């Protein structure tokens, strides 16, 4: 296939007029952002915002660093880093993004990554590495027994974890008198910036206490809340994009029209004019975060496990099941909403209305199986934290326990059928599932033994255990 058939810088000007494209000269872009983990969500969300920033200031190009996989680099390098975002709503838009100015694979080009992290022009580092990428224990602190962390402590100049790269990058900046970059976690992790900052400091303390003190006093790890539904790329999307562009895009992404980014007002280096980009800068990100993690993400996980067990494949399809849609709405309004302390002016009821409308969007084919991944990392923040608050307040937890019980059955079915379980705790989860016999008390106890998921408190709470067993029995 000739170069003219592909999306790249040379064919950009020949795209159909209705396709949006970068509003700046690609040749004038310089790197100001290093991003670790440039998956679909980053490319549909933060890279979009920085693409807008580049139209005002060409210093905000992104060096997109994949820690291990070369898939992104191999797909986008022939396209000069360009790719398409399909915005799926009542009307469909296509926009070509040019902000991924550089594509690196850390495992293959470690020194180039360190050079970017140490460069004075790199003023922001963003991350979308999923919950498991932070290498945290059940208590939310850095897990020094994690194999990646153990590797990086033994060889700090040859890290494999994001934490290891951040610490070594900051060490090199300090060594040459360069101010630290602002590190912005964009993952759905409660207190994401706080946990990341403490993990980085803990790792640094184990290597060099002086470096750790510098990081703690000079660096910034603002909390954030990010929101936009980004289904996985599939063949249907590739075909749709090819028809719209008249060119082949090796790796387009898709998202809903809604997007939100809230960042704590805490920076230690230069930053774009966030307000002009539609980013909310707030002193209380936690309130936005709790609302999103518990209401949207909690409902998403609930739909995933209930919907898959009911035979559905996408969020929109599951929402057409009246019983499921009613269950999820009641859980959001009656069980989760009382645990959310909204920021001033935040209409929780209206937010729930908007979430339910977004779930019903027929243009979005968001696979339930994708949402079901990494349940051991997601449920503690999306559901179990809400259960803990409800227990303290003596509120009902029946509906809240149902998605947890359904997750157990989801794991049991995967183990029974020999299917791959996408979860960092797949081994222990399959060990628990392999001994299940359908007796609720016995089966639930096997899963609750996973302290890294449930902590030490929930398995000892008689009301929680009894309610969870009752929910489990409804599906046996």
Place of tokens 């060490």: 171
Buried b (16+ CB within 10 A) or exposed e, 327-355: bbbebbbebbbebbebbeeeebeebbeeb
CA of 450: how far to CAs of 21, 176, 439, in Å? 48, 45, 18
* pLDDT over threshold 70, residue 416: yes
Residues 287, 346: contact at Cβ < 8 Å? yes
Give the Cα separation of 367 and 362 in Å (integer). Answer: 13
Structure confidence at residue 139 (pLDDT):
86
Structure confidence at residue 3 (pLDDT):
63
Structure confidence at residue 94 (pLDDT):
98
In this predicted structure, which of 154-158, 230-234, 362-366 has the lowest mean pLDDT? 362-366
What average pLDDT score do residues 256-278 get? Answer: 96
Residues 19, 244: contact at Cβ < 8 Å? yes
Distance of CA 472 to the CA centre of its chain: 28
Place 338 in a pLDDT band, splitting at 50, 70 and 90: very high
* pLDDT over threshold 90, residue 189: no
SS3 351: helix
Give the Cα separation of 329 and 337 in Å (integer). Answer: 11
| Farthest CA pair distance, the chain | 66
* pLDDT over threshold 90, residue 475: no
197, two tokens: 């900052």
- Predicted confidence (pLDDT) per residue in 289-310, tens digit: 889 999 999 999 999 999 999 9
Structure confidence at residue 190 (pLDDT):
84
Side-chain-side CA neighbours of 204 within 13 Å: the count stands at: 25
Distance of CA 413 to the CA centre of its chain: 26
Structure confidence at residue 346 (pLDDT):
87
Element (H, E) at 263: strand 260-264
Residues 180, 215: contact at Cβ < 8 Å? yes
What average pLDDT score do residues 450-475 get? Answer: 96
What average pLDDT score do residues 223-250 get? Answer: 95
What average pLDDT score do residues 250-260 get? Answer: 96
* pLDDT over threshold 90, residue 90: no
In this predicted structure, which of 161-170, 289-298, 387-396, 462-471 has the lowest mean pLDDT? 289-298
Sequence-distant (6+) residues with CB within 8 A of 303 are 315, 318, 319, 324, 328, 359, 368, 371
What average pLDDT score do residues 426-447 get? Answer: 97
Four-way CATH pick for 3-283: 3.20.20.10, 3.40.50.720, 3.40.50.300, 2.30.42.10: 3.40.50.720
For residue 26, what is the DSSP state?
Answer: G
Residues 28, 272: contact at Cβ < 8 Å? no
Sequence-distant (6+) residues with CB within 8 A of 95 are 19, 20, 21, 48, 84, 85, 87
Q: Which CATH architecture has domain 286-473?
A: Orthogonal Bundle (1.10)
Structure confidence at residue 194 (pLDDT):
97
What average pLDDT score do residues 106-129 get? Answer: 98
* pLDDT over threshold 80, residue 59: yes
* Beta pairing, strands 83-88 & 253-256: parallel
Spell out the domain ranges in the chain.
3-283, 286-473
Q: CB under 8 Å, gap of 24 or more: what pairs does 70-78 form? A: 70/105, 70/108, 72/38, 72/39, 72/103, 72/251, 73/103, 73/104, 73/105, 75/250, 75/251, 76/100, 76/103, 76/250, 76/251, 77/103, 78/6, 78/8, 78/250
In this predicted structure, which of 102-106, 151-155, 360-364 has the lowest mean pLDDT? 360-364
What average pLDDT score do residues 394-416 get? Answer: 97
Give the Cα separation of 24 and 261 in Å (integer). Answer: 23
Structure confidence at residue 343 (pLDDT):
84
What average pLDDT score do residues 237-242 get? Answer: 97
| Phi, psi at 461, each rounded to 5° | -90, 110
What would the 3-class secondary structure string for 76-135 be? HHHHCCCEEEEEECCCCEEEEECCEEEEEECCCCHHHHHHHHHCCCCCEEEECCCHHHHC
Structure confidence at residue 270 (pLDDT):
97
Give the Cα separation of 270 and 261 in Å (integer). Answer: 18
Sequence-distant (6+) residues with CB within 8 A of 431 are none
Give the Cα separation of 19 and 94 in Å (integer). Answer: 5
Element (H, E) at 227: strand 224-227
* pLDDT over threshold 80, residue 356: yes
Mean pLDDT of the chain: 96
Structure confidence at residue 1 (pLDDT):
55
For residue 161, what is the DSSP state?
Answer: S
What average pLDDT score do residues 356-363 get? Answer: 93
What average pLDDT score do residues 273-288 get? Answer: 94
Asked if 3-283 and 286-473 have one fold, the answer is: no
Percent of the chain whose pLDDT exceeds 90: 91
| Phi, psi at 429, each rounded to 5° | -65, -45
Residues 453, 425: contact at Cβ < 8 Å? yes
Place 347 in a pLDDT band, splitting at 50, 70 and 90: very high
What average pLDDT score do residues 108-131 get? Answer: 97
């Amino acid at each position: 296939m000739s170069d003219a058939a592909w999306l790249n810088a040379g064919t950009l000007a020949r795209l159909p007029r209705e396709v949006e494209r970068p509003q700046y000269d690609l040749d004038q872009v310089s790197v100001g952002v290093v991003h670790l983990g440039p998956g679909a969500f980053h490319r549909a969300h933060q890279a979009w915002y920085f693409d807008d920033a580049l139209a005002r200031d060409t210093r905000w190009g992104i060096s997109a660093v994949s820690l291990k996989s070369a898939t992104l680099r191999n797909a986008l390098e022939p396209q000069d880093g360009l790719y398409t975002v399909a915005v799926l709503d009542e009307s469909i838009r296509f926009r070509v993004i040019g902000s991924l100015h550089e594509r690196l694979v850390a495992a293959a080009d470690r020194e180039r990554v360190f050079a970017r992290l140490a460069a004075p022009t790199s003023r922001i580092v963003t991350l979308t590495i999923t919950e498991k990428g932070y290498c945290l224990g059940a208590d939310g602190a850095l897990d020094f027994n994690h194999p990646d962390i153990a590797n990086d402590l033994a060889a700090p100049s040859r890290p494999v974890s994001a934490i290891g790269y951040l610490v070594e990058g900051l060490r090199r900046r300090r060594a040459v008198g360069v101010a630290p970059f602002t590190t912005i976690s964009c993952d759905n992790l409660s207190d994401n910036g706080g946990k990341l900052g403490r993990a980085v400091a803990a790792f640094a303390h184990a290597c060099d206490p002086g470096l750790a003190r510098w990081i703690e006093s000079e660096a910034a790890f603002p909390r954030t809340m990010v929101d936009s539904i980004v289904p996985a790329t599939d063949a249907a999307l590739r075909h749709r994009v090819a028809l719209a562009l008249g060119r082949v895009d090796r790796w387009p992404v898709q998202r809903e029209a809604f997007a939100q980014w809230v960042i704590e007002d805490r920076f230690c280096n230069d930053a774009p004019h966030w307000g002009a980009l539609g980013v909310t800068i707030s002193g209380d990100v936690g309130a936005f975060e709790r609302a999103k993690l518990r209401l949207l993400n909690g409902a998403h996980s609930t739909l995933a496990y209930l919907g898959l067990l009911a035979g559905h494949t996408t969020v929109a399809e599951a929402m057409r099941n009246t019983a499921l849609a009613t269950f999820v709405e009641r859980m959001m309004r009656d069980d989760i909403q009382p645990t959310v302390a909204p920021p001033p002016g935040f209409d929780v009821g209206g937010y729930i209305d908007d979430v339910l409308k977004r779930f019903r969007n027929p243009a979005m084919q968001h696979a339930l199986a994708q949402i079901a991944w990494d349940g051991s990392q997601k449920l503690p923040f999306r559901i179990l934290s809400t259960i803990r608050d409800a227990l303290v307040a003596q509120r009902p937890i029946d509906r809240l326990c149902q998605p947890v019980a359904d997750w157990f059955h989801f794991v049991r079915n995967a183990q029974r059928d020999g299917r791959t379980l996408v979860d960092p705790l797949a081994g222990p989860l399959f060990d628990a599932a392999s001994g299940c016999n359908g007796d609720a008390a016995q089966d639930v106890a096997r899963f609750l033994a996973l302290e890294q998921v449930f902590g030490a408190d929930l398995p000892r709470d008689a009301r929680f255990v009894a309610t969870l067993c009752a929910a489990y029995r409804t599906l046996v």
